[in-house]
């Protein structure tokens, strides 16, 4: 038996014992539990004491991390080695948020100076747009920006804008991802083409949904401004030649690199729309927070490392206790999109059934993630969390100081966050209720992450925390967290079906698919 196999066997043994006890009882058995299962990192306070592991179990999980060579994998990641084996690429998003003067290398090639040059161009562009020095074709300043992308080119920027936007922004951002024409129509409604910039974000500049929307937005500009409307086009792409061929002025094309995965790209020029809308200084503070978490993850010992600890807690639930679903509930309306962001970050990164070498994965991998803002979620899916037949671990996020509104309302919000974590763990015995309908089994685990305030630095650290957590989990499972071949088959088949729906010859399909195509063509 290898060290890795022995460590997984130790996890299973520890989990078997965990099934026979209750989380609440561990606080009496382990007087220092709260102190040892809480940690601070880059402005985040993380409490893992309501997880189902004992302190001895934590040591077992740290043994698993060591047996799976997490420290070596971390070193290779930061060194810019090829960690995305199926595509032959490093994954060096940390370079995007490192301060000037860093020396990151991607597969041996220096990249930090190029990153700094792009950031400088972004800063100049943002300042020119926000000051009015860069105006529209008719001389009017830009008052709105329509950001077109999908997946990592949409979810991250949309999340950042929702989290950090001012109450009365100088420049309004609207987002378009779905190829459903309704989304673009809604985004353009009420906008003046003279004052609207369109930013198209596509790594390859070939994504069907994004180009369809970009073409429609370009037509909307040209209908009002003629060919001069192309001056309102901006692109972010790793294929600048294709963006320029589309009509984007060369000096309004911002690049990023193939060592930046889409769902890890918000720190690059993919975040340009947010930098324009928020101001570049705010965007730079976001980068600073992400870098602070990078430094913590890179240097902290495994036992005191926030991304490692969070990953181990999730793996203990997912693999040890067989819990394939996790809820994420931010008690902050500005973070209502965080669960949707994590769906891509976690499920696209680690939703794999084979290891990095192509062998069948020996352990279940990514959990399904869902969630919504608290307290809204309490009146939707919390019934299932408290009294359903499945135990669903929960990540609860809270912000101590509200950014606007009534402080008393913020206190009520925090009271709900704390109470829900307690209720999930403690429950209510049937003996204390008039009937079984009102009993709560309890013993339902949660992690609690507290931010002092939702500022750019802390928010950047939060995103980076989960990025690194996903990486650690991938190392434990032996999978490649940086490719996403699972999205390719459906896209390829969609192109075939589209050709048929547009009048092309019938292809070979299963009977159900053939019938659906025939119905839509009739």
Interval 272-316: pLDDT, tens: 999 999 999 999 999 999 999 999 999 999 999 999 999 999 999
Candidate list 13, 227, 379, 488, residue with the active-site label: 379
Q: Terminus-to-terminus CA distance in the chain, angstroms?
A: 61
491 is catalytic: yes
From 348, 457, 467, 473, active-site residue:
348
* pLDDT at residue 220 greater than cutoff 90: yes
| Residue 358: burial class (beta carbons within 10 Å; 0-12, 13-18, 19+) | exposed
For the chain, give the percent of residues with pLDDT over 90: 95
Kindly report the backbone phi and psi dihedral angles of residue 440, in degrees, each rounded to the nearest multiple of 5, phi listed first: -120, 125
Q: Is 359 helix (H, G, I), strand (E, B) or coil?
A: coil
Q: pLDDT grade, residue 48 (50/70/90)? A: very high
Mean pLDDT calculated for residue range 82-89: 95
Alpha carbon separation from 159 to 12, 274, 284, 340, 391 (Å, rounded): 37, 10, 16, 9, 28
> Can you give the pLDDT at residue 58?
98
Q: What is the pTM of this model?
A: 0.97
pLDDT at 403 over 90: no
Cβ proximity of 12 and 61 under 8 Å? no
Cα–Cα distance for residue pair 202/213, rounded to 1 Å: 12
Closest by CA to 321, choosing from 280, 290, 364, is 364
| Phi, then psi, of 93 in degrees rounded to 5 | -60, -20
Q: How far apart are CA 474 and CA 363, in angstroms?
A: 11
Active site residue 348: yes
Q: What is the mean pLDDT of residues 116-138?
A: 97
CA distance 235 to 385: 43
**β-strand pairing of 172-176 with 144-148:** parallel
491 burial via Cβ count (<10 Å: 0-12, 13-18, 19+): exposed
Among candidate residues 227, 401, 412, 491, the one labeled active-site is 491
Q: pLDDT grade, residue 26 (50/70/90)?
A: very high
């Amino acid at each position: 038996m290898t060290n890795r196999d022995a460590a997984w066997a130790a996890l299973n043994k520890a989990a078997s014992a965990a099934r026979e006890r209750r989380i609440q009882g561990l606080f009496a058995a382990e007087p220092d539990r709260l102190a040892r299962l809480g940690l601070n990192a880059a402005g985040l306070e993380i409490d893992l004491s309501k997880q189902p592991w004992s302190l001895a179990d934590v040591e077992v999980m740290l043994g698993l991390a060591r047996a799976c060579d997490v420290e070596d994998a971390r070193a290779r990641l930061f060194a810019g080695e090829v960690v995305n084996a199926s595509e032959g690429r490093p994954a060096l998003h940390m370079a995007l948020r490192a301060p000037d003067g860093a020396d990151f290398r991607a597969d041996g090639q220096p990249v930090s100076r190029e990153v700094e040059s792009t950031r400088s161009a972004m800063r100049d562009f943002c300042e020119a747009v926000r000051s009015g020095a860069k105006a529209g074709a008719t001389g009017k300043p830009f008052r709105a920006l329509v950001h077109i992308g999908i997946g990592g080119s949409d979810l991250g920027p949309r999340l950042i804008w929702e989290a950090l936007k001012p109450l009365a922004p100088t420049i309004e951002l609207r987002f378009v991802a779905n190829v459903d024409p309704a989304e673009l129509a809604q985004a353009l409604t009420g906008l003046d083409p003279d004052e609207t910039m369109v930013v198209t974000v596509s790594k390859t500049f070939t994504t069907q949904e994004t180009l369809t929307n970009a073409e429609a937005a370009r037509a909307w500009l040209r209908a009002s401004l003629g060919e001069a409307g192309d001056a309102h086009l901006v692109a972010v792409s790793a294929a600048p030649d294709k963006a320029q061929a589309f009509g984007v002025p060369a000096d309004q094309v911002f690049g990023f690199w193939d060592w930046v995965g889409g769902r890890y790209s918000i720190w690059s020029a993919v975040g340009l729309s947010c930098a324009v809308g928020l101001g570049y200084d705010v965007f730079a503070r976001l980068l600073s927070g992400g870098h602070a978490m990078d430094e913590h993850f890179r240097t902290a010992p495994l036992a005191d490392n926030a991304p490692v600890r969070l990953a181990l807690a999730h793996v203990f639930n997912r693999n040890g206790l067989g819990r394939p679903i996790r809820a994420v509930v931010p008690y902050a309306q500005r973070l209502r999109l965080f669960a949707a962001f994590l769906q891509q970050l976690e499920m696209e990164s680690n939703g794999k059934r084979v290891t990095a070498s192509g062998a069948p994965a020996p352990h279940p991998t990514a959990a399904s993630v869902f969630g919504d803002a608290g307290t809204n979620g309490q009146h939707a899916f919390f019934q299932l969390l408290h009294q359903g037949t499945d135990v669903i671990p929960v990540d609860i996020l809270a912000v101590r100081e509200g950014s606007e509104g009534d402080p008393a309302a913020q206190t009520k919000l925090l009271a709900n966050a704390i109470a829900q974590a307690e209720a999930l763990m403690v429950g209510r015995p049937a003996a204390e209720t008039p009937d079984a309908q009102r009993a709560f089994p309890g013993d339902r685990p949660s992690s609690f992450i507290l931010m002092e305030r939702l500022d750019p630095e802390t928010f950047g650290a939060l995103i980076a925390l989960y990025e690194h957590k996903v990486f650690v989990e991938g190392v434990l499972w032996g999978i490649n967290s940086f490719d996403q071949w699972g999205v390719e088959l459906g896209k390829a088949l969609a192109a075939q079906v589209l050709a048929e729906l547009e009048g092309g010859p019938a292809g070979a399909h299963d009977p159900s698919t053939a019938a659906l195509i025939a119905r839509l063509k009739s």
